[in-house]
Structure 1
Amino acid sequence: MEVFLTGATGLVGGEVLVNLSKRSEIEKIYCLIRAVSYENAQARLSTIFNLHNDEFNQQKVIPVLGDLFDEELTAKLICNEQLAQVTTIIHSAANTSFAKVKDDLVEKANIGGLTKILLWAKRLQSLNTFMYVGTATICGRDVKHRLVTEDETPNLNANHLVKYTYTKMQGELLLKQHLPEDKILVVRPSIIMGDSRKVEPRSPVILWALATMNKLRLVPAEQFASLDMVPVDFVANVMTQLLFVKRNYNVYHISAGNDACTSARQLAQVFDEYFDDMLPHLFVGKEMLNPLKLWAKGKLPVGHELYQHYEYLEHLKYEFEDLSNLRILFAGLDPYIEFAELGQRFDNSRIIEDLGIEPSEPGHQYIHNCLHYIERINLLEGAIDP
């Protein structure tokens, strides 16, 4: 088996790459890497393997210089003779930003970039499987507080909270336009949060929201809504295993499901025990988000009920001497709160059926492995590019 992987330096792609490199069934893994030179690309791949002290076999893991934004990418891939025997494509690369100012880039990467890969893939005579990494949250904002099955989406009538989920829905539709159904394998992770092992996570993506919640302590969100979150190592393991089993479906949620969901309250309890020198988390509901923004601007009317939480407001003044930084955090936190309020759970019965695996640990059980890392996350950097 020869594999072509995009997103190899990302959160999910990096874990998948390491997993694949350990499989004897795989002869070559070609990784699309944005780099100025072949040597630079190899150095970027080396960083992926060095993070957890995994072996980097340079004879097996081979960089292919390329960029999803390059209008000539399809032609370059077609002309690359070493890719002629690729049997499996894993398209993990994506722009995952929730920021509205990044909407154009998100669309160009997630739809334009995918199209370029597909135009090459459909010409590969040896292609058996095109694995597309989507997201379970393509179900949109109208689905609330219930279990969502794979067959419900993509739904063209779905209303999306952010451009990212819209492009992931469109990506699934593109697959069907370009490839026969028997070659398509769609995996839809739910919320990918941290790592269940005691290792350094590859990225602070989404963990940033927990780090922010931990620092704020006064949280404008619903505390008991279900959060379907899974660790990145679980996602990567499922993706890898799906390549080597008889599959009964071509779309799979990689999710916590009904039995392993968590909630903001359960996560907060873990943080309260670990950071026991801080105020306990106080959830005040999403309706307090705008008052908090006004307070940070010094414009909250006297007598507002938010002032009842004086001790927490003093905490915020102490932690954020420049309250303009607090306003930046709230702006970045907005879409995460919106997603958390939906209370969505995603059916995981297909991966349990086809792989015979146990569901992942609930988030409040494995997140303690990430707490030392969460302490070091740059909150402002994450808020500017959520």
Structure 2
Amino acid sequence: MMWDWHASLPAQDLAARAHACGTRLPGVDSLLLTGATGFIGGNVMVAAINAGLARRLLCLVRGVDAADALARLRENAIQCGLLRSRVDWLTEDNILLGVLDSDFSPAAQARIAGVTHVINCAAMASFSADAQVTRINVQDTLRFASRFAGSATLQRFIHVGTAMACGTQRGPRIAERDAGHGGASDLSHLVPYTRSKQEVEVLLRNSFPDLPLVVARPSIVVGHTVLGTQPSASIFWLFRIIHQSRRYTAGPHTRIDVIAVDDCARALLRLAVKPELAFDAYHLSAGARAPTIAQVIAAMDEAVSIDGEPAYRRCPASELPALASDVARKERNSNRRLIERALRLYSGFAELGYVFDNGRIREEIDFEPLSITDYVSECMRTSRGVGILEQMSWDFKS
């Protein structure tokens, strides 16, 4: 099938022929994508274009005008790996100008009314304590979804959440059945982002019971299997710190559930276009195949041809100030407090050691994500010459 696209030459030829003749997946008349200028959404856009859906793709993009929005869209498409020969496949016809809470013109509303599939990737994914996180991820998302309430044409509304919406009061293995309805509103969370994703999931289901809603909950999304950190360096800076320092607050045998963004994007597209789905919520995760921290560190050692001495060890939280100072000194950066704050924040996630069951998604679409141990070398290659503080900016935007 065309939506099962991989970057082989025959597949590239197939995508080009599909675009030239306007071939599309049956039933996918108009696919509306939000967040297309972001990390996950940008990779979904590339996957959709490579699947021959460029002429049926509508991207919600902010901009001064359509030309400005198109320029931003094309720039991110290239960053996310779209072949430059295909950039011209994106035109102003692919642009729905605005943001989640926009007051759309009658012409734009007419285009929205014809949408058959939605993949909602738009969110403020910063781990900063910013009031915009709740506004965008909850209120604005609900207003956007309300436009499809009672739609006679909409067949599927994929909402991209996060596996960590489960909160912190769980055992180490998170059953996929628990991903369905968000749970209690008083769940403990480490950051406002995960709380906002849990809250909006519950509100979407309760506010719009007739919406053909499917929630996709990615685990930790780090890097790209081919492009490494080129599309985004989000979270990989933490792996670099742990690798360099050989210590952190999680034990060496703690599992870390990570998937690559291109695996995540293809899974989202498959969930969107598959005519029938067995469930209304899925984990997009490494699951039982999630590697341990020690295995990831060993793969990073191999990537840079070192023997792994000294061995990685678990350290107490009391060592984090010294660890932050070491990083700041090596980076020749005086912002030790930001580094320490980030290390403390992420230590909370690492110490949970969550593994998110992915039995549903594996059965539904034969989901087989590549282990980070198999592509971490590309992440390291594309991080050469890039400062850790520079990479941290992906996660601390405010």
Q: 1:345 aligns with which of 355, 366, 375?
A: 355
Match runs of 1:125-274 below 5 Å:
125-151=152-178, 154-156=182-184, 157-180=186-209, 183-198=212-227, 201-245=230-274, 246-258=276-288, 260-274=289-303
CA contact (8 A) 1:6 1:32 kept: yes
Determine helix, strand or coil for the equivalent of 1:174.
helix
- 2:110 equivalent to 1:110: no
Residue identity matched to 1:67: V
CA contact (8 A) 2:43 2:77 kept: no
Residue identity matched to 1:319: K
Residue identity matched to 2:161: G
Distance in 2 between the 1:280 and 1:11 partners?
Answer: 34
- Corresponding residue for 1:94? 123
CA shift, 1:215, in A, is 4.0
CA contact (8 A) 2:32 2:59 kept: yes
Listed one character per residue, the Cα deviations across residues 196-228 of structure 1 (whole Å, up to 9, x for unaligned) are 225653111122221332344443432221111
Residue identity matched to 2:99: D
Q: 2:372 aligns with which of 363, 369, 373?
A: 363
Structure 1, 19-28 or 163-172: larger mean CA deviation:
19-28
Residue identity matched to 2:36: A
Structure 1, 81-90 or 118-127: larger mean CA deviation:
118-127
Distance in 2 between the 1:77 and 1:275 partners?
Answer: 56
Determine helix, strand or coil for the equivalent of 1:380.
helix
The verdict on how the C-alpha distance between 1:80 and 1:148 changes in structure 2, with shifts beyond 3 A counting, is same
Structure 1, 25-34 or 366-375: larger mean CA deviation:
25-34
CA RMSD of aligned residues (A): 2.7
The verdict on how the C-alpha distance between 1:9 and 1:338 changes in structure 2, with shifts beyond 3 A counting, is same
CA shift, 1:327, in A, is 3.3
Distance in 1 between the 2:391 and 2:323 partners?
Answer: 22
Determine helix, strand or coil for the equivalent of 1:221.
coil
Distance in 2 between the 1:75 and 1:183 partners?
Answer: 22
Determine helix, strand or coil for the equivalent of 1:227.
coil
Structure 1, 172-181 or 13-22: larger mean CA deviation:
172-181
Residue identity matched to 1:254: L
CA shift, 1:20, in A, is 1.4
Distance in 2 between the 1:53 and 1:26 partners?
Answer: 12
Distance in 2 between the 1:281 and 1:34 partners?
Answer: 48
- Corresponding residue for 1:50? 78
The verdict on how the C-alpha distance between 1:114 and 1:175 changes in structure 2, with shifts beyond 3 A counting, is same
- Corresponding residue for 1:303? none
The verdict on how the C-alpha distance between 1:79 and 1:10 changes in structure 2, with shifts beyond 3 A counting, is closer
Q: What TM-score results when the alignment is normalised by the length of structure 1?
A: 0.84
The verdict on how the C-alpha distance between 1:181 and 1:135 changes in structure 2, with shifts beyond 3 A counting, is farther
Distance in 2 between the 1:296 and 1:42 partners?
Answer: 41
- 2:340 equivalent to 1:330: yes
CA shift, 1:137, in A, is 1.0
Listed one character per residue, the Cα deviations across residues 46-85 of structure 1 (whole Å, up to 9, x for unaligned) are 11332324313135861122124x5xx1454885323321
CA contact (8 A) 2:257 2:354 kept: yes
- 2:382 equivalent to 1:373: yes
- Corresponding residue for 1:300? none
Residue identity matched to 1:65: L
Determine helix, strand or coil for the equivalent of 2:273.
coil
Structure 1, 224-233 or 365-374: larger mean CA deviation:
365-374
Determine helix, strand or coil for the equivalent of 2:147.
helix
Gaps of 5+ in 1: 298-312
- 2:113 equivalent to 1:81: no
Distance in 2 between the 1:77 and 1:226 partners?
Answer: 50
Distance in 2 between the 1:238 and 1:317 partners?
Answer: 38
- Corresponding residue for 1:124? 151
Determine helix, strand or coil for the equivalent of 1:265.
helix
Listed one character per residue, the Cα deviations across residues 340-360 of structure 1 (whole Å, up to 9, x for unaligned) are 1111111111112121x1521
- Corresponding residue for 2:36? 8
CA contact (8 A) 2:150 2:211 kept: no
Distance in 2 between the 1:21 and 1:14 partners?
Answer: 11
CA shift, 1:382, in A, is 4.3
Determine helix, strand or coil for the equivalent of 1:117.
helix
Distance in 2 between the 1:330 and 1:122 partners?
Answer: 45
CA shift, 1:330, in A, is 1.9
Corresponding pairs, count? 360
Distance in 2 between the 1:190 and 1:281 partners?
Answer: 30
Determine helix, strand or coil for the equivalent of 2:382.
helix
Distance in 2 between the 1:131 and 1:77 partners?
Answer: 25
